[in-house]
Amino acid sequence: MSAMHAIHAEGLRKSYGEKLVLDGIGLRIPEASVFALLGPNGAGKTTAVQILSTLIGADGGEARVAGYDVVRQADDVRRSIGVTGQFAAVDGLLTAEENLLLMADLHHLPRREGKRRAADLLERFDLTPDAKKTVSSFSGGMRRKLDLAMTLVGEPRVIFLDEPTTGLDPRSRRMLWELIRGLVEDRGITIFLTTQYLDEADQLADRIAVLNGGRIVAEGTSEELKRRIPGSHIRLRFGGEDQLDAAARVFDVAQRDPENLALNIPGDGTPGTVRAVLDLLDAARLEAESLTVHTPDLDDVFLALTEKPQQPVPAL
Amino acid sequence: MATATAPAPARSYAFRDSMTMLRRNLTRMRRYPSMTVQIVTLPVLLLLLFVYVFGGAIGEGIGAGDRGDYVNFLVPGIIVMAVTYGTIPIAVSVCSDMTEGIINRFRTMAISRSSVLTGHVLGNMVQIVCILALVTGVAYAIGFRPNATAVEWAAAMGLLLLLAFGLSWLSAAMGLRAKTVESASNAPMPLTYLPFLGNTIVTPESMPTGLRWFAEYQPFTPINETLRGLLLGTGIGNSAWISLAWCVGLALVGYLWARSAFRKGAER
C-alpha cells in the first residue's frame, strides 16, 4: 500500500494546548505527482508539513513518507525528503555556492560529487553568475531559488514546499512555478505543496485538498472541486441591510453575504435569467446598487469551503 | 562491499557533521568580523581604563603597589572577563539560526542533531582563543609581565578553555531561549558583569560585608585567584579545585540546559 504512495497518512491529529490544529487528516499521495494542500492562514497547513517532514510529532495518527514511518524511521524519511519552508532557510553570510556545498557535506557526499551537484544546480537555477556572492545581497526571489536548490542537493524523492511563493513578486512566482514543474517532469519527484493561492494550486497540482479548521473539507482535481460548487450565480448588492433582508425573502434559494450587503442567486447569466431577477426585484419594490454575473473559479470553491467550517457545502 | 554503501546511523556522523558545522561557523565569523572586533574591544577598553585612569589610585588603595604592579594584578581578571564577553556571539548566532529558519532545514536532514550546537560551541571556542590572544597581546604591550613556566601557561590555558566551554554552552542555551537576536545579545550580559562583583578590579576586603561575602563565594573569584597564581606565582590555595568544580558545574548545567532548550525549540 505504502509502496504506491509517496505519502500516506491516517488520522493525523495535533493540538497546541487548547487549540486543535489538525483534527484527523488522512492523505494518499501517489508517487511523481504534485499535491497541493490549500487553506487560509492558520488552517494547519504548516503543521501538516512539520509532522510529515519529521519536525514535530503528531498527537495521534500515523504517517509514512517514501515508505518510512515518520516517527519510527525518522532518519530514513529525512534521507528521502527535502523541505523548503515559508521563510528561505539559507545562510545569509555564506555564498550561494557555500550554501550548496554545506548541504552536500551534510548529506555526506564525497567532495567531488558535492561540487558537481552544486555546480549543476547553480547552472540549472541560473545562479552561476552569483555563485560567489554572499546570500545577504540576494533578492527574495533569488533566495527562494537557492533555497529550492539546497533542497535538491540530496536528490530527495519527496519535496515539501511550504508556501514557496508567499511574499514573492509575480515574476519570481512564475519562475518558481516553472522550476517546480520541471522537477516533476524530469525527475519523477513527488511534491507536497501548501499554498493559500488558488492559482498556484490550479497551475501546479494534480490533486488539491482544501484544509480548513484542521480538517480536509474537500479533495480532488481542480476540475472536480470546481464542480462541487454550483454553477454561475448572479450577485446583487444593496444599499442597506433592510433591503438585503427584504430581497433575501424574495429569493429564498439565494445565499446572503451580509458583510458585503450582497445576495448570491444561483443561476446562469443569460438575459432571460437576469430579466427574471430584475422583474422579481421590481415587483418587491427593491432596488439593487449593482448586479454582476459570476462564473465559478477556484476562489469560489475556496470561499465556499472555508468560510463556514462547520457546515457542509450548501447543495443548491 | 554492500555494508560500505548501506546508510550508516546518524551517530557515526556526529564527528563529521560537527566539523561541517564548525567550518560553517568559522566562515560566518570571517564574513562578519565586526562581531569579534566589538567583543574584543570591550575588555581592552576596560583594561586601558582601569590601568591608566584608575590604576594609580586603585593600586595604592588595595595595596597592590604602583600602576605597573596594578597591571599585573588586573590582567588575569581582565582575561577571564574577556572569556565572558567572548560568549556573547554564540547566543546571537544560535538565536539567528533558530529565528531565520535554517534550523528547520537541519532538523529535516539525516544529520547528527547534536552537531548543530557542537559546531557553534567549537566555533565560539576558536573565537574566544583569538580574543584571548589579542587581549593578552595588548596586556603585554602595556606592561603585563607574567613569570609563568610553560606548564603553568598550559594549565592557565586549560582552565580558560574549560571556563569558555562551560559559558559557551550556557550562552548557547540563552540564545536558544531568546525570541529575538537583540534579546539574545543581552541575555549573557549578567555573566559579563559578575566579574566586577569579585576580585577582578579590586580585592574584596574593601567592600561592604554583604557584597564581600558574595564576592568571595562567586565563581569568578577563585578562577581569577587561580589564574593569578599560575601566571604570577601568587598563592593559589584551594582555589584551583574550587575553580575546576565551578567550571565543570557550569559546563554541565549549560550543556543540559542547551540540550533541553534545543529539543523544546523543535516544538516552537
Query: The C-alpha cell of A254 is what?
Result: 439565494
Residue A307: pLDDT band with limits 50, 70, 90: low
Residue A311: pLDDT band with limits 50, 70, 90: very low
Q: Which pLDDT score is estimated for B133?
A: 95
Mean pLDDT score of chain B: 89
Which 8-67 residues of chain B touch chain A by CB within 8 A? 9-10, 13, 16-17, 20, 23-24, 27-28, 31-32
Segment B36-56 shows an average pLDDT of 91
Q: Which of A216, A229, A233 is nearest to A304 (CA)?
A: A229
Strands A255-257 and A158-162: unpaired
Could you give the 3-state DSSP secondary structure of residue A190?
A: strand
Q: Which residue has the cell 574577556?
A: B82
The number of C-alpha atoms within 13 Å of A209 and in the hemisphere containing its C-beta is 22
Are the Cβ atoms of A54 and B266 closer than 8 angstroms? no
CB atoms within 10 A of CB A136: 13
A213 and A137 fall within a common domain: yes
pLDDT at B11 over 70: no
Which chain A residue has the Cα nearest residue B28?
Answer: A93
Q: Which pLDDT score is estimated for A164?
A: 87
* Domain closes at, from A186, A207, A227: A227
Name the amino acid, one letter, at A129.
P
Which residues of A fall within a CB distance of 8 Å from B32?
93
- Side by side, the strands of the sheet bearing A190-195 are A81-84, A158-162, A190-195, A34-38, A207-212, A215-220
Query: The C-alpha cell of A130 is what?
Result: 552569483
The enclosing domain of A278 has a CATH number of 3.30.70.100
Strands A81-84 and A68-69: unpaired
The number of C-alpha atoms within 13 Å of A119 and in the hemisphere containing its C-beta is 6
Are the Cβ atoms of A94 and B31 closer than 8 angstroms? yes
Percent of all residues in chain A with a pLDDT value above 70, rounded to a whole number: 93
Write the residue in B101, B110, B267 that is nearest to A78 by C-beta: B110
Segment B55-70 shows an average pLDDT of 83
Residue A141: pLDDT band with limits 50, 70, 90: confident
Looking at the domain assignment, is residue A289 inside a domain? Answer: yes
Q: Which pLDDT score is estimated for B4?
A: 40
Are the Cβ atoms of B9 and A106 closer than 8 angstroms? no
Are the Cβ atoms of B31 and A150 closer than 8 angstroms? no
Residue B1: pLDDT band with limits 50, 70, 90: very low
Residue A284: pLDDT band with limits 50, 70, 90: confident
A80 and A148 fall within a common domain: yes
Which residues of A fall within a CB distance of 8 Å from B9?
75
| B263/A contact by beta carbon, under 8 A | no
Write the residue in B7, B24, B108 that is nearest to A53 by C-beta: B108
| B105/A contact by beta carbon, under 8 A | yes
Q: What is the DSSP string of B131-173?
A: HHHHHHHHHHHTT------HHHHHHHHHHHHHHHHHHHHHHHH
Write the residue in A76, A85, A93 that is nearest to B31 by C-beta: A93
Q: Which pLDDT score is estimated for A314?
A: 46
pLDDT at B267 over 60: no
Write the residue in B10, B17, B28 that is nearest to A75 by C-beta: B10
Looking at the domain assignment, is residue A197 inside a domain? Answer: yes
A221 and A237 fall within a common domain: no
Query: The C-alpha cell of A3 is what?
Result: 509502496
Q: Which pLDDT score is estimated for A306?
A: 72
A148 and A279 fall within a common domain: no
A187 and A140 fall within a common domain: yes
A205 and A86 fall within a common domain: yes
Q: Which pLDDT score is estimated for A157?
A: 93
Mean pLDDT score of chain A: 87
Looking at the domain assignment, is residue A148 inside a domain? Answer: yes
Distance from CA of B120 to the nearest CA of A (A): 14
Looking at the domain assignment, is residue A302 inside a domain? Answer: no
Write the residue in A53, A82, A87 that is nearest to B101 by C-beta: A87
* Per-residue pLDDT reduced to its tens digit, B66-94: 888 889 999 999 999 999 999 999 999 99
Are the Cβ atoms of B31 and A81 closer than 8 angstroms? no
CB crowding A174-190: b at 16 or more within 10 Å, else e:
ebbbebbeebbeeeebb
Task: For residue A307, count CB atoms less than 10 angstroms from its CB and return exposed for 0-12, middle for 13-18, buried for 19 or more.
Answer: exposed
| B108/A contact by beta carbon, under 8 A | yes
Segment B121-144 shows an average pLDDT of 95
Name the amino acid, one letter, at B238.
N
Query: The C-alpha cell of B26 is what?
Result: 568559522
Mark out chain A residues that contact chain B at CB-CB < 8 A. 53-56, 75-76, 78-79, 81-83, 85-94, 98, 102, 105-108, 134, 150, 154
Which residues of B fall within a CB distance of 8 Å from A134?
31
* Per-residue pLDDT reduced to its tens digit, A11-52: 999 998 888 999 999 999 999 899 999 888 888 899 999 999
Number of structural domains (chain A) is 2
Spatial separation of the C-alpha atoms in residues A80 and A2, rounded to whole Å: 14
* Domain closes at, from A169, A202, A227: A227
pLDDT at A316 over 50: no
| B110/A contact by beta carbon, under 8 A | yes
A142 and A67 fall within a common domain: yes
B132 forms beta bridges with none
A11 and A155 fall within a common domain: yes
Are the Cβ atoms of B100 and A89 closer than 8 angstroms? yes
A128 and A173 fall within a common domain: yes
Distance from CA of B20 to the nearest CA of A (A): 7
Which of the 8 DSSP states describes residue B52?
A: I
Spatial separation of the C-alpha atoms in residues A134 and A26, rounded to whole Å: 42
Q: Which pLDDT score is estimated for A41?
A: 81
Give me the domain span that covers residue A283: 231-295
Are the Cβ atoms of A55 and B17 closer than 8 angstroms? no
Percent of all residues in chain B with a pLDDT value above 70, rounded to a whole number: 95
The answer to whether residues A190 and A180 touch, using CB atoms and an 8 Å cutoff, is no
Distance from CA of A295 to the nearest CA of B (A): 41
Strands A233-237 and A190-195: unpaired
A128 and A210 fall within a common domain: yes
Q: Which residue has the cell 565560539?
A: B124
Q: Which pLDDT score is estimated for A108?
A: 93
Which residues of A fall within a CB distance of 8 Å from B16?
105, 108
The number of C-alpha atoms within 13 Å of A212 and in the hemisphere containing its C-beta is 19
Q: Which pLDDT score is estimated for B9?
A: 53
Q: Which pLDDT score is estimated for A1?
A: 43
Segment B221-241 shows an average pLDDT of 90
Segment A75-90 shows an average pLDDT of 88
Which of the 8 DSSP states describes residue B114?
A: H
A277 and A177 fall within a common domain: no
Q: Which pLDDT score is estimated for A230?
A: 62
Spatial separation of the C-alpha atoms in residues B58 and B60, rounded to whole Å: 5
* Per-residue pLDDT reduced to its tens digit, A160-207: 999 888 878 888 888 888 888 888 887 789 999 998 888 888 889 999
Segment A285-293 shows an average pLDDT of 87
Query: The C-alpha cell of A162 is what?
Result: 511550504
Distance from CA of B216 to the nearest CA of A (A): 43
Looking at the domain assignment, is residue A309 inside a domain? Answer: no
Which of the 8 DSSP states describes residue A95?
A: B
Residue A242: pLDDT band with limits 50, 70, 90: confident
Q: Give the contacts of B91 (CB within 8 A, at least 6 positions apart).
A: B171, B172, B174, B175, B178, B184, B185, B187, B188
Residue with more model confidence, B232 or A309: B232
Looking at the domain assignment, is residue A301 inside a domain? Answer: no
Which residues of A fall within a CB distance of 8 Å from B24?
91, 94, 102
pLDDT at A2 over 50: no
| B107/A contact by beta carbon, under 8 A | yes
Spatial separation of the C-alpha atoms in residues A153 and A103, rounded to whole Å: 6
Strands A233-237 and A290-294: antiparallel
pLDDT at A229 over 70: no
A20 and A91 fall within a common domain: yes
* Domain closes at, from A211, A227, A243: A227
Q: How many CB pairs under 8 A join A and B?
A: 67
Q: Which residue has the cell 563529521?
A: B16
Could you give the 3-state DSSP secondary structure of residue B238?
A: coil
Q: Which pLDDT score is estimated for B266?
A: 61
Looking at the domain assignment, is residue A311 inside a domain? Answer: no
Looking at the domain assignment, is residue A57 inside a domain? Answer: yes
The enclosing domain of A207 has a CATH number of 3.40.50.300
